[in-house]
Structure 1
Amino acid sequence: MTAVPTEPTAGPPAGPSRRRHDREILALAVPAFGALVAEPLFLMADSAIVGHLGTRQLAGVGVASAALTTAAGMFVFLAYATTAAVARRIGAGDRRGAVQQGVDGLWLALGLSVPVALLTALLAPRVAEALGASPTAAPYAETYLRISALGIPAMLLLLAATGVLRGLQDTRTPLLVAVAGFTANIGLNAGLVYGAGLGVAGSAWGTVLAQTGMAAVYLVVVVRGARREGATLRPDATGIRAGARAGGPLLVRTVSLRAVLMIATAVAARLGDDQIAAHQVTMTLFSFLAFALDAIAIAGQAIIGRYLGASDVPGARAAARRMVEWGVGSGVVLGLLVVLARPLYVPLFTPDPAVQEQLSTALLLLALTQPVAGLVFVLDGVLMGAGDGPYLARAALATLAVFVPAALAVPPSGTGLAGLWWAMNLFMLVRAAFLVRRARGGSWLVTGAVRT
């Protein structure tokens, strides 16, 4: 590998044109958007269907969703680290090695998923209690958690397989799988919740079945690719350990960020059922918007990794600048949509006037921070694509240290749900400051097929 000097490069004359960057970004980001929003769309569908069962059910699913998103989401390095590593090898011209690295990621995902699923199911009551679920909402949270734990192996395999395809510059296959999975999820949930009368349990079963089907399709695609390139399907201890080491800093980064979301949910739960129900809807939209903006970041992971693997530093710099422009602009548009479309989507989540009243301010605050969120997600993806995990881990820990006291001050301050979402906005601003500082330097621009 080769580290470039810390001074920024002058610009992209030696790299592709701005128009070519746009084509590259859009070719990966547009399909990636559909694939990325699959999980929040699952949760949005669950929230919309369960919301009409009652506020207690919606509050219970809100607590369970936060726990599940954390249980699976903290292993998102299975996708992110794999994308960057595979893309570097593609840039260096080693396609067989790229696919082999992806297969090792699948074995790592399978090994991690089993204990996570068991712990989630066994600790469901304690998790609901720790997140502050009220006595009326806790039974629904426990039911949803226990059933959904069965889908965690599929969720982690989805992450790893998606990372392989993204690194290979293929985001269309994940899009097709996501569309099919979301469609199946809606049909299954509606049929099991209302048709079969299973209530919250039906919603959980519908999502588990949809996720399992998606994982099966991904495995078929990756196995066929491995055979075509001559890569072995057997587990390789060295490759699995290498994947785990590369993902370690990203795990720290993700756990820190997930802690922010868990603390926010716990604080909201202690404010009351109306507040946690409104917070659940707002967090669901937060996740949806985050994944929408992350589509550009996913393009960044794949493109930056490929450029650095090919030792094209000017191309990496120019692509990063253009993606930042796309991210901030997309954030402005999404923020406006959150505000203007409220009369259309709020009634879909809850008919309760008290919950709708709580939503009004929280949604405005969510909209306000979307341009900053666009910057944050794009730069996060750029640095992941460069393999700059250790810095991302340190920045996430520092951001957590700022957020915790701000969030814990909300209940005694009496600022309610609005105060909590002001704390969430502070969290995004601090993240932006750390990422901009790193991107302006050059220490993340390390070239070569493998970053060690």
Structure 2
Amino acid sequence: MAEITHARVLKIALPIVLSNATIPILGAVDTAVVGQIGLPAPIGAVGIGAVILSSLYWIFGFLRMGTTGLVSQAHGTGDTGEVSAGLMRALIIAGIAGLSLIVLQLPLFWAAFQLAPASDEVEGLARDYLQIRIWGAPLTISLYAFTGWLIALERTRGVLLLQVAMNALNVGLDLLFVLGFSWGVQGVAGATLISEIGGVLLALWLCRAAFAGGLWRARAIFDRVKLATMARVNTDIMLRSILLQASFTSFLFLGAGQGDVTLAANQVLLQFLQITAFALDGFAFSAESLVGQAVGAHSAARLRRASIVSSQWGIGGALVLGAVFLLAGPAIIDLMTTAPNVRIEARDYLIWIAAAPLIGGPAWMLDGIFIGATLTREMRNAMVVSVAIYTAALFVLIPLFGNHGLWAGLMILNATRGLTMARLYPRAEAKASSG
């Protein structure tokens, strides 16, 4: 197998970083295009519709991580049949999940609007948006599987091509349907649906090797042991993700209790954390792929090398981000909001944002290592412990320090995640050694 070098890590990571950089652009274009209608309701409808769907699709995000871990291990073993079968199993789950969302769309949308009520006009337009876009559910969820498969095989340039092509098609159709044909909210939804169709067609071409040579026979796909392993891995990842999302949701709700200005400041500062995640994802994904291959090859030495080299770049990136946020944070805050009181409030908590990449960096990298090694039970258990400590910290710190206590609690969550997984890291090398 090829040597694990810094150049190899960067070859995997940089396309992911560039791909992630394109993600916010699409949301901005959707908002800007529908904003040309000159009415507030369409903007709100597209926003709330997109949030509802992204929340539903997020539940199935485990397919990306689980597919990367399992397929990279099969690739490291040299089992080309299992490399193909891993993708097929994930696509079957994606199809079933997507069709279930289509069938259950009425009660799901009803429940969503009960949780996030809107005016009659906004809700009506949002329903128009949702009723078009929901037909893309099997496609969107399947893209998690395709992306995970490409990452497992270190084909992250394909991930970048897929993301850029979909976004470019979506933006072009947005302009045509909304500004050209005056289709409004339905035009935005139709543009996204067509771009999802195009994305899956491109993904099928990028992953065509998985469908070649009869490697995807039904016997391999429906192997009971492999299915049980996949179910266990994906269930652990899903539970871990739910706990993590619940922690961030609680952060938002508790921030709201500090007042409108503090809530707005926290929302601005959370965008810095999103930037951090987008930037460090590439190095975590490189760890997933290379660690998984090392486990498949039964080489603890390769796993250690993959972990160290990927983490060096990840922690280096965290240091750079921390310095940028500390030095340029005030200017970035001013770009995000023109409200003077929000600017002042956000500056008060900027020190937490500067520290966040350094405190959270180890957790992000260890997530990648554990996914590659499919130590998902350990990930889940580490998250349970971390959330329990986070919850206890909030009870103590918020009454004492207010919003500073809230931010300290979030840092404790990420620090605890990193420490608990670091303690369990030897299990990854042991798994690689055991074969």
Query: Same-fold call, TM > 0.5?
Result: yes
Segments of 5+ residues of structure 1 without an aligned counterpart are: 1-14
Contact 1:90/1:309, CA 8 A, preserved across alignment? yes
**C-alpha distance in structure 2 between counterparts of 1:72 and 1:363, whole Å:** 32
Among candidates 20, 23, 27, match of residue 11 of structure 2: 27
TM normalised by structure 2 equals: 0.81
**C-alpha distance in structure 2 between counterparts of 1:54 and 1:399, whole Å:** 44
**C-alpha distance in structure 1 between counterparts of 2:188 and 2:359, whole Å:** 34
Deviations 1:269-317 (A, max 9, x none): 5666666555555444423321320211111111011112111111211
What is the deviation of 1:349? 4.8
**C-alpha distance in structure 2 between counterparts of 1:84 and 1:242, whole Å:** 11
Give yes or no for the alignment of 1:434 onto 2:420: yes
Among candidates 159, 162, 182, match of residue 174 of structure 1: 159
What is the deviation of 1:37? 4.7
Deviations 1:65-103 (A, max 9, x none): 665444323322211121121111211121232122212
Deviations 1:103-129 (A, max 9, x none): 211111221233345556633454355
Among candidates 296, 300, 320, match of residue 313 of structure 1: 300
**C-alpha distance in structure 2 between counterparts of 1:386 and 1:188, whole Å:** 41
Give yes or no for the alignment of 1:425 onto 2:425: no
Segments of 5+ residues of structure 2 without an aligned counterpart are: none
Give yes or no for the alignment of 1:160 onto 2:154: no
1:378 maps to what in 2?
A: 365
What is the deviation of 1:390? 0.5
CA distance 1:119–1:362, shift in 2 (3 Å):
farther
2:285 maps to what in 1?
A: 298
Of structures 1 and 2, the one scoring higher in RCO (CA 8 A, sep 6+) is 1
Give yes or no for the alignment of 1:415 onto 2:399: no
Contact 1:250/1:393, CA 8 A, preserved across alignment? yes
CA distance 1:315–1:107, shift in 2 (3 Å):
same
Alignment of 1:24-103 (within 5 A): 24-43=8-27, 68-103=53-88
Q: 2:65 is matched by which residue type in structure 1?
A: Y
TM normalised by structure 1 equals: 0.78
Alignment of 1:192-231 (within 5 A): 206-222=191-207, 224-231=208-215
Q: 2:204 is matched by which residue type in structure 1?
A: L
**C-alpha distance in structure 2 between counterparts of 1:62 and 1:409, whole Å:** 36
Among candidates 388, 394, 405, match of residue 401 of structure 1: 388
CA distance 1:232–1:314, shift in 2 (3 Å):
closer
The 10-residue stretch of structure 1 (186-195 or 89-98) with the greater mean CA deviation from structure 2: 186-195
**C-alpha distance in structure 2 between counterparts of 1:354 and 1:47, whole Å:** 25
2:273 maps to what in 1?
A: 286
1:392 maps to what in 2?
A: 379
Q: Which has the higher helix share?
A: 2
What is the deviation of 1:39? 4.3
Contact 2:133/2:190, CA 8 A, preserved across alignment? yes
**C-alpha distance in structure 1 between counterparts of 2:263 and 2:124, whole Å:** 14
What is the deviation of 1:263? 2.5
SS of the equivalent of 2:159 reads helix
Contact 1:308/1:446, CA 8 A, preserved across alignment? yes
What is the deviation of 1:162? 1.0
What is the root-mean-square deviation of aligned Cα atoms in Å?
Answer: 4.1
**C-alpha distance in structure 2 between counterparts of 1:338 and 1:44, whole Å:** 22
Contact 1:34/1:175, CA 8 A, preserved across alignment? yes
CA distance 1:62–1:171, shift in 2 (3 Å):
same
The 10-residue stretch of structure 1 (82-91 or 49-58) with the greater mean CA deviation from structure 2: 49-58
Contact 1:330/1:371, CA 8 A, preserved across alignment? no
Contact 1:78/1:247, CA 8 A, preserved across alignment? yes
**C-alpha distance in structure 2 between counterparts of 1:43 and 1:367, whole Å:** 26
Alignment of 1:115-130 (within 5 A): 115-116=100-101, 122-124=107-109, 126-127=111-112, 130=115
CA distance 1:412–1:121, shift in 2 (3 Å):
farther
**C-alpha distance in structure 2 between counterparts of 1:252 and 1:342, whole Å:** 34
**C-alpha distance in structure 1 between counterparts of 2:157 and 2:307, whole Å:** 22
Q: 1:99 is matched by which residue type in structure 2?
A: S
Q: 2:431 is matched by which residue type in structure 1?
A: V
Contact 2:95/2:138, CA 8 A, preserved across alignment? yes
What is the deviation of 1:25? 1.0
**C-alpha distance in structure 2 between counterparts of 1:197 and 1:341, whole Å:** 40
Deviations 1:233-259 (A, max 9, x none): 769444555422331211111111122
CA distance 1:446–1:263, shift in 2 (3 Å):
same
**C-alpha distance in structure 2 between counterparts of 1:98 and 1:240, whole Å:** 14
Contact 1:300/1:320, CA 8 A, preserved across alignment? yes
Q: 2:160 is matched by which residue type in structure 1?
A: L
What is the deviation of 1:334? 1.7
Q: 2:409 is matched by which residue type in structure 1?
A: A
The 10-residue stretch of structure 1 (382-391 or 56-65) with the greater mean CA deviation from structure 2: 56-65
Contact 2:295/2:431, CA 8 A, preserved across alignment? yes
Deviations 1:19-71 (A, max 9, x none): x4212211211122233455455446557778998999988877766654443
**C-alpha distance in structure 2 between counterparts of 1:180 and 1:197, whole Å:** 24
**C-alpha distance in structure 2 between counterparts of 1:315 and 1:44, whole Å:** 42
The 10-residue stretch of structure 1 (334-343 or 161-170) with the greater mean CA deviation from structure 2: 334-343
1:105 maps to what in 2?
A: 90
Contact 1:274/1:355, CA 8 A, preserved across alignment? yes
1:3 maps to what in 2?
A: none
The 10-residue stretch of structure 1 (90-99 or 226-235) with the greater mean CA deviation from structure 2: 226-235
